[in-house]
């Protein structure tokens, strides 16, 4: 089904360079050229036999050299589902790549693209109202990038002050570990000591014990 769609997209939109990636596990995907995303979406919205009339997801995934933006389309007319993806190369670590907005095709894209902009830092051109959605407007950085570090100060307040970080799990984890039969096999938290800022108590001296 996907390979048929791929050839249809290539035939209808010149320069789309649609490419079918068959998956060993999970779902197949179709990659298209990022410049042609709006044309491809317009085509998929109205093409006979597909008619993807609902946009379910727009999201970005951060990789070292690129950001992949996924569009999950669904057809409630023909009961179909498609994961459409584009690759956006990142020039540098903090670069914010640009992509054409698909708000003119589905109105659902408005909020979804705002969330993607907020979380991954992809700029959507011709978006009617591109502001942050979940974070405050003056937040810094793109939280769902892999190299994201939380800013130290926000609006005059210290973010994650050391004395407010809950270390109870570390304390009880260590306590349990010391009594475990084989301490090497025992794990209690994904938080490594370097996760905590300087000054946070990660030893067994928690107050109120």
Partner 1 sequence: MADTNLETKWIGDGADMEKIKSDLLTLNMGPQHPATHGVLRVEIQTDSEIVATARPHLGYLHRCMEKHSENLEWRQVIPYVDRMDYLAAMNMELGYCLAVEKMLGTEVPRRAEYIRVMVSELQRIASHLMFFGVYAIDLGAFSPFLYAFQDREFILRIFEELSGARLLYNYIWLGGVWNDINDDQLRRIETFLDELDEKLHKYHNLVGENHIFVGRTANVGVMNKDYCYQYGGTGAVLRGAGVDWDLRKKRPYGIYEEFDFNVPVGEGTKGTLGDAWDRYWVRVREIWESIKIVRQCLEGIEEGPIMGKVSKVLKVPAGEVYMRTECPRGELGYHLISDGGKTPYRLKVKSSCFTHTSMLVEVAEGQMIADFVATIGSIDIVLGEVDR
Query: Which residues are near partner 1 by CB under 8 A?
Result: 23-27, 29, 53-57, 59, 61, 70, 72, 74, 76, 79, 81, 83, 106-108, 110-111, 119, 133-136, 143-144, 190
Which tokens is 142 given? 């793109």
Nearest distance in Å: CB 207, partner 1: 25
Nearest distance in Å: CB 28, partner 1: 9
User: Which residue's CB is nearer to partner 1, number 66 or number 204?
Assistant: 66
Question: Please, which residues bridge with residue 43 across strands?
Answer: none
42, 3, 34, 1: which is closest to 16 by C-alpha?
34
Nearest distance in Å: CB 98, partner 1: 21
The β-bridge relationship of strands 66-75 and 157-158 is unpaired
Please classify residue 66 by burial: count the beta carbons closer than 10 Å to its beta carbon, then call 0-12 exposed, 13-18 middle and 19+ buried.
Answer: middle
User: Which residue's CB is nearer to partner 1, number 92 or number 137?
Assistant: 137
HSE of 161, CA atoms in CB hemisphere, 13 A: 6
User: Which residue's CB is nearer to partner 1, number 32 or number 72?
Assistant: 72
Report yes or no: 47 and 12 within 8 Å, Cβ to Cβ.
yes
Nearest distance in Å: CB 15, partner 1: 25
User: Which residue's CB is nearer to partner 1, number 43 or number 71?
Assistant: 71
What is the three-class DSSP state of 183? Answer: helix
């Amino acid at each position: 089904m996907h390979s048929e769609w791929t050839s249809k997209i290539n035939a209808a939109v010149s320069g789309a360079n649609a490419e079918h990636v068959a998956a060993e596990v999970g779902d197949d995907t179709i990659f298209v050229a990022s410049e042609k995303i709006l044309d491809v979406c317009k085509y998929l919205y109205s093409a006979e036999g597909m008619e993807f009339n609902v946009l379910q997801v727009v999201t970005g995934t951060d990789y070292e050299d690129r950001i992949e933006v996924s569009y999950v389309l669904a057809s409630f007319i023909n009961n179909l589902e498609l994961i459409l993806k584009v690759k956006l190369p990142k020039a540098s670590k903090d670069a914010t790549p640009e992509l054409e907005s698909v708000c003119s095709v589905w109105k659902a894209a408005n909020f979804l693209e705002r969330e993607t902009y907020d979380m991954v830092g992809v700029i959507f051109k011709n978006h009617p109202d591109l502001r942050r959605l979940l974070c405050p407007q003056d937040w810094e950085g793109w939280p769902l990038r892999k190299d994201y570090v939380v800013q130290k100060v926000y609006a005059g307040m210290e973010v994650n002050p050391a004395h407010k970080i809950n270390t109870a799990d570390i304390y009880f984890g260590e306590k349990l570990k010391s009594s475990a039969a084989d301490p090497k096999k025992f794990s209690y938290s994904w938080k490594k000591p370097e996760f905590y800022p300087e000054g946070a108590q990660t030893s067994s001296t928690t107050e109120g014990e």
